[in-house]
Chains A and B, each alone.
Chain A
Amino acid sequence: MYPDEFEYHSADSVESAVSLLAENPEAELIAGGHSLLPTMKSGLASPDALVDISGVDGLEGVERDGDSTRIGAMTTYAEVADDDQFWEDATVVAETAGEIGDRQVRNRGTVGGNIAHADPASDLPGAMLAADATVHVHGPDGGVEVPHEDGDTASGYVKKPSPSSGYAMVGVAARLTLDGDSVADARVAANGVMDHGTRLSGAEDALEDETLDADAVEAAGAAAGDDLDEYMVMEDQQASAEFRLQLLSVYTERALEKVGERAGAL
């Protein structure tokens, strides 16, 4: 499998990447290339030009700034998943990064590329929604900013991976803030169900102000798909929409059980 021919431009700064993109409107950005190159090799994408940002200094790495962590666009999944402090500060993001692909993919694939590519079956979008992350798209400081969890907050991620690709057939990320036994704030989000990472307001509403126990978890699982447009739910050879919604309930429960245990409530 060979990609079609393309022009290759290597950017040496964010500014030069931005101007190369402006000069080549059909160009694609390449970061780690672990979503883009497979689609180019299989012929699903044939961009006229690539603008490579792997040579841009300062886009890689994790930086802590008070209440939040900033992930440079070129930071690999492995850097996030292997970072012990990240597990403390924003568990759901670190846990999810460690679930992506396999060891080699995590060594090369990048957080920025993953989010920009926005594959509906990808793992990070749901995790970033649950973590209340901010994506910085423009300017010399591009990256993702993830707020830290305080002592009353816990988070986590579970997924049903596709047996062939490892992508999420359904993945659920959750972050709960507790006030005593009751849920003060719930952020629950899913991958693989809609054509983009999606907040599950049905599950969130079912949890808020409730005591976090087995009944609340079951009710949230049952309500997980409530606010989703059913005709928009993904359907492919791996799973019907109906089956995906069933998985969504089960995996919402599992995510909440995991987070509840981490919070010491279950």
Chain B
Amino acid sequence: MERDITLTVNGTEHELSVEPRTLLIHALRDEMGYTGPNVGCESSTCGTCTVHVDGKAVKACTELAVRAEGSEITTIEALNEDGELHPLQESFQEEHGLQCGYCTPGMVMTAAEFLEEEPDPDREEIREALEGNLCRCTGYQNIVNAVETGAEKMRTETAADGGTVEGGD
């Protein structure tokens, strides 16, 4: 039996009717057209379906759409502002942090949440943070480079906006 639910995605409310067994990733892609997050392994392993639920990185293949009602969902589509790429998106491009690009939406969303928490990570911490995101092309080296560069850009932006950066004064 279908249920009527309201989901808030990237600030927009969507009313839809779904079966309780509908996974969040399928509701996002098939019902609402947010095709940024991809379907990969479907078994909570590869992380290409990663979105933010109330600011936290979550694998959308391992959540029911009905349970996401009342939460703020953010997909990769909302990361750029006014057509400007997010610093992380820029750095993935500059550092060649992708080849086929299938894993990239998840990589970027996980990294974005991680950098909120840890703005100045070392390479080991970046690798640990991306443990739940698999890439079968790059060998990860350039992905780590991209997150490192992205973090630097984000710290510079924060400082330019008059915000405080850890270690700065």
Q: Do the beta carbons of B132 and A105 come within 8 Å of each other?
A: yes
- Closest CB of chain B to A152's CB: distance in Å? 31
Interface status of A226 (Cβ within 8 A of chain B):
no
Chain B's closest residue to A108 (CB) is B58
Instruction: Tell me if A2 and B63 are in contact (CB < 8 A).
Output: no
Q: Which of A4, A30, A105 is within 8 Å of B59, CB to CB?
A: A105
**A103 and B131 contact, CB distance less than 8 A:** yes
> In the bound complex, do residue B63 and residue A37 qualify as a contact, i.e. CB atoms below 8 Å apart?
yes
**Between-chain CB contacts (< 8 Å), 16 pairs:** A2-B21, A5-B21, A7-B1, A8-B64, A10-B66, A33-B64, A37-B64, A78-B56, A101-B44, A102-B132, A103-B57, A103-B114, A103-B132, A104-B110, A104-B132, A105-B44
* A8 and B20 contacting across the interface, CB-CB below 8 Å: yes
Q: Identify the A interface with B (CB < 8 A).
A: 1-8, 10, 30, 33-34, 37-38, 40-42, 50, 52, 54-55, 78, 101-105, 107-108, 165
B50 adjacent to chain A (CB < 8 Å): yes
Closest CB of chain A to B125's CB: distance in Å?
11
Among B3, B53, B58, the most chain A Cβ lie within 10 Å of the Cβ of: B58
Interface size class of B (residues with CB under 8 A): 20 to 34
Within 8 A of A (CB), among B47-81: 47, 50, 53, 56-59, 61-64, 66-67, 70
Taking the closest CB of chain A, its distance from the CB of B46, in whole angstroms, is 10
Which residue, of B3, B67, B114, B133, has the highest number of chain A Cβ atoms within 10 A? B67
A107 contacts B21, C-beta separation under 8 Å: no
In the bound complex, residues from chain B placing their C-beta under 8 Å from that of A7 are 1, 20
Chain A residues, CB < 8 A from B58: 104, 107-108
Are B43 and A1 touching (Cβ within 8 A)?
A: yes
By beta carbon, the residue of chain A nearest B3 is A8
Asked if A54 contacts B67 (CB within 8 A), the reply is: yes
Residue numbers in B under 8 Å from A78 (CB-CB): 56
Q: Are B20 and A41 in contact (CB under 8 A)?
A: no
Beta-carbon contact of B63 and A103 below 8 Å = no
Given known A-B contacts A33-B67, A42-B43, A6 and B21 have beta carbons under 8 A apart:
yes
Name the contact of A34 in the complex, choosing from B20, B42, B44, B128 (C-beta under 8 A): B44
Q: Contact flags (1/0) for B95-108 with A, using CB distance below 8 Å?
A: 00000000000000
Query: Please, which residue of chain B has its CB at the minimum distance from the CB of A50?
Result: B20
Q: How far is the CA of A40 from the CA of B62 in the complex (A)?
A: 10
Q: Is A33 a contact of B62 with CB atoms below 8 Å?
A: yes
A102 B63 Cβ-Cβ under 8 A? no
Q: Which residue on chain A has the smallest CB distance to residue B131?
A: A102
**Distance in Å: Cβ of B139 to nearest Cβ of chain A:** 17
A1 to chain B, nearest CB (A): 5
Chain A residues whose C-beta falls within 8 Å of the C-beta of B131 in the assembled complex: 102-103
Interface centre among A6, A40, A55, A104 (most CB of B within 10 A): A104
Task: Give the contacts of B12-40 with A (CB-CB under 8 A).
Answer: 19-21, 23
A105 to B49 alpha-carbon distance, docked (Å): 13
User: Using Cβ atoms and an 8 Å threshold, which residues of chain A touch B135?
Assistant: none
